[in-house]
Amino acid sequence: MLRHLIHYGIHFLVPVLIAVWFFKGASLKVALILLAGIIIDMDHLWATPLYDPNRCSIGFHTLHSYWAILVYSILPFFKTTRIVGLALIIHIIADWMDCLLM
């Protein structure tokens, strides 16, 4: 239960808090972009079985690979991709915490 609260709290609560706290003038727009980071979970559709509660996403799914994480880590250094990169990193942190709590 705690594992799921932490995992989904990072997925949904942390992006909203970051948007409100750091992007006061555009918090709604930024919050929606940060929440959209969950889109990388579409790579779960290619897995068999589709959902496995005991599988760590990091290093298993294509968009959760170490190469993808390296790209996500570079994105915040460029102004045009900063928020998208932050969204993807928040997503990876949520999944990484889920893996640690398994």
The pLDDT assigned to 29 comes to: 97
**CB-side neighbour CA atoms (13 Å) of 91:** 25
The pLDDT assigned to 57 comes to: 95
The pLDDT assigned to 51 comes to: 85
Q: Quick check: bond before 49 cis, omega within 30?
A: yes
The pLDDT assigned to 39 comes to: 96
Low-confidence residues of the chain: pLDDT under 70: none
The pLDDT assigned to 53 comes to: 86
Alpha carbons 26 and 68: distance in angstroms, whole number:
28
The pLDDT assigned to 1 comes to: 87
pTM for this predicted structure? 0.93
